[in-house]
Structure 1
Amino acid sequence: MHLAWQNLLHAEFEKQGIDFTYKGKDGRPLKTKDGDVKTWELMRCAEEAYAEGDPIRKNIEFFVGIRNKIEHRFQKSLLVATGARAHALVINYEAEVVARFGGEHSLSSELRFPVFVQSLTPEGVDQQLDLRKKLPAKVRSYITRFEANLTDAVKESERYEYRVLLTPLKGSKSEADLAVTFLKAESLSDEERQDLTNRSRTGTVVITEKQRDIYLKDALAPSKARAAIAARIPFVFQQHHFTQMWKIHGVRPAAGDPSKERTDNRYCLYNAAHDNYVFTKAYVERCVKEIDTPDKFRAFFGKDPIGKSE
């Protein structure tokens, strides 16, 4: 995943016109010992692509830091200790590929994302605990120190640590051993919902979209988010520019979409009380980074920027 993430962000920088090569004092690209141009490593890429407090960035930084601290023989112990974070690393990657390059590049048809589960027997749990104890002290210390510096918001984010609780379903084999089908509640008619209720355990899961807490201290109304971006760049940045950006980024549904709460909650949230959307400071940072030079602005909007003094 380390190399996959690095290649993904390199591709994004290339699309944005961002130079991600290291330069010498003479301004020329530095070379590796093999003669290749030296490009940004993953940590540097994450710093450029995501705001400081972004859970995705912290998840990447966690695995970059741990990469060189573990020996192959401790791999099982590491999986037990960091499985939920590994979930997030893979799921975040899939989400970013689709968000940045479109659904045609989704890996969902190629990969089956792993789900690490605790054993359901006392013996299995004991084995899991024993594996945790075998993790080298330097790695346990690294994990403790790293997470001590995280905010509660990051630690509780599913984009930093994706935890799943498995509950066994009791019942006859013919009932419990069926393949599971996932359906969205909003796509079902009243008759279909009632039919599923009557059939009880049939291997079908009805998904109801859960509204997320929108009362964040960094939430900004669209006009204020636009103004915050405009204040950080040397070009005219109007509301239609901002609208174009969130549409391209896909951080919120289009007008008229019935699933108003289905946003990218790193950047945008739906306010049910006022029936509108608010944007996070992390989204302001992302927008600024993508259009703060003439070349970036031109690459994003397809036209030259207008200076504020013009």
Structure 2
Amino acid sequence: MALRKGKTKSTLETSIDAALLAVEIYNKPRTPFRVEGFITHMIIAWTRLFHAHFNNTIGNRYYYKNDNGRFKTVDGERKSWELKTCISKFGKLDDSVKSNLSFFIKLRNKIEHRHIDRDEIGIMIFGECQSLLYNYENTLIDFFGEEYALNESLTFSIQFSRIRKKTQIEASKKLLSKEIKELKTFIDNYRTSLPDEVFNTQEYSIKLIQVPKISNTDRSDLAIEFVNWSTVSEEDKENYKKVTAIIKDKVLKKEAINPGRRKPTDVITKVNQEIGFDITHYDHKCLYCCLRIRPGSGNDLTDPFDTNTKYCHYDEVHDDYVYQDAWAELIIKGIKEGKLTKDLWKEKFKNSEHLNIKEIEA
């Protein structure tokens, strides 16, 4: 599709420029705020890609309007749909692509007010970053044709293997810091919440293994080959799996669904069996809010993944929370030791105050 001069073409060009800048930032080893810069510019690239597509297909209907039919404005500019709304309005993205984009939208919001030093998080999310870029190019081609493909413009980032190993070790140590721990917890929780059929796709996260090619191949062959998993034969897939079983660094996922986790009613029942009085669902709400093991309900601005994973996890599939046995045991311990009473947690909840969970755990 050869676009003529106009808003669609200019918007698309700014989208491509943002994507190329994101790659340039990511591939410069000494660039400050490298991961933040990549994520921010890729969010801009995706948003403007959708805006170019909408402008080309539905005109200016991707702007918000007031009840009187006039455009909403911010600082005198018409307010356009943000990326999350664009994804919803488009409605045709594969679940794996949507999960990848949702991951970066939420992560962008979390890192906006944090300083991430060098590669602590970058090493963890390399696969998701690579998929975010691949998915962008595939969607760009779907929307506007092969002539807008970026692969001729991009280069593969050369790696120093020894330095990379040293960087990984240093990054692992830095992951112990409080802010990085919180981001790591978010990443782990998000990945765990995904079904295997999404998590294992290249559209959600590219899993790359660097294996030197030392066979007698044609001397005109490319040094790097990217294999599309969906086009690989079953025999070759089995061979790949044998190789990756030996050398890949994998985070193991439990196949059981919510092992060792309980619904609120189960927690309440277990607690009531151990104490001299009964607690209710309202008491349970007071407790999890006061001890801050999960967000309170009814707040759309709260990230549901912000939980104390020692006691509680967000179940994205069912849009609710499940609790560890340790949560019931903590309540029982607090009550038996006199650190938790009904009057105390009700008063704290009513006044939107918190209890120090460390004192209950001690």
TM-score by length of 1: 0.52
Change (3 A) 1:170 1:153: same
**Structure number with higher relative contact order (C-alpha < 8 Å, ≥ 6 residues apart):** 1
**Structure 1 contact 118–128 (Cα < 8 Å) conserved:** no
Tell me the SS of whatever aligns to 1:143. helix
2:83 pairs with 1:42: yes
Tell me what 2:195 maps to.
151
- CA deviation digits over 1:12-48, x for unaligned, max 9? 1122216211111112110012x11100111111222
Cα pair 1:22 1:38 within 8 Å, conserved: yes
Instruction: Tell me: CA distance 1:81–1:96, structure 2 relative to 1, closer, same or farther (3 Å).
Output: same
Structure 1 gap segments, 5+ residues each: 183-202, 213-310
Write the mapping of 1:161-176 to structure 2, written as runs, cut at 5 A: 161-168=205-212
2:121/2:184 contact within 8 Å kept? no
Amino acid at match of 2:78: V
Partner of 1:210: 232
Pair 1:104–1:170, CA change in 2 (3 A): closer
- 1:84 touches 1:162 (CA, 8 Å); kept in 2? yes
Q: Counterparts of 1:97 and 1:117 in 2: how far apart (Å)?
A: 32
Residue 109 of structure 1: which of 152, 156, 160 is its match? 152
Q: Which residue of 1 aligns with 2:99?
A: 58
Comparing 92-101 with 162-171, which one deviates more in the overlay?
Answer: 162-171
Aligned pair in 2 of structure 1 residues 49, 114: CA closer, same or farther (>3 Å)?
farther
Residue identity in the other structure for 2:136: Y
- The equivalent residue for 1:86 is 129
Do residues 4 (structure 1) and 45 (structure 2) align?
A: yes
Alignment match, 2:37: none
Does residue 27 in structure 1 map to residue 49 in structure 2? no
In structure 2, the residue corresponding to 1:72 is in which secondary structure? coil
- The answer to which structure has the higher helix fraction is 2
Q: Which amino acid aligns with 2:172?
A: L
Q: Deviations over 1:218-245 (max 9, x none)?
A: xxxxxxxxxxxxxxxxxxxxxxxxxxxx
Specify which of 221, 235, 241 is matched with residue 181 of structure 1: 221
1:192-203 equivalences in 2 (<5 Å): none
Secondary structure (helix, strand or coil) at the match of 2:155 reads: coil
Alpha-carbon distance in 1 for matches of 2:117, 2:182: 12
State the SS of the aligned residue for 1:46: helix
Residue 158 of structure 1, CA deviation: 0.4
Structure 1 vs Structure 2 CA RMSD: 3.5
Residue identity over aligned pairs, in percent, reads 22
Residue identity opposite 1:139 in structure 2: L
SS in 1 for 2:89: helix
**C-alpha distance in 2 between matches for 1:118 and 1:49:** 41
Tell whether the 8 Å contact from 1:88 to 1:158 is kept in structure 2 after alignment: yes
Q: Distance in 2 between matches of 1:122 and 1:32?
A: 47
How many residues align? The count is 187
Q: Does 1:99 align with 2:142?
A: yes
Say which SS state the counterpart of residue 161 (structure 1) adopts: coil
SS in 2 for 1:109: coil
1:100 & 1:7 partners in 2: Cα distance? Answer: 12
How do 1:278-297 and structure 2 match up within 5 A? none
User: Which of 1 and 2 has greater Rg?
Assistant: 2
Q: 1:96 & 1:52 partners in 2: Cα distance?
A: 9
1:92–1:159 CA contact under 8 A, matched in 2: yes
Name the SS for the 2:117 alignment partner.
helix
Tell me if structure 1 keeps the 8 A contact 2:96–2:203.
yes
- Say yes or no: does 1:73 pair with 2:116: yes
Residues 98 and 106 in structure 1, CA contact (< 8 A), matched pair in contact too: yes
Question: Do structure 1's residue 13 and structure 2's residue 57 form an aligned pair?
Answer: no
Contact 1:88 1:161 in 2 (8 A): yes
Distance 2:99 2:226 in 1: 32
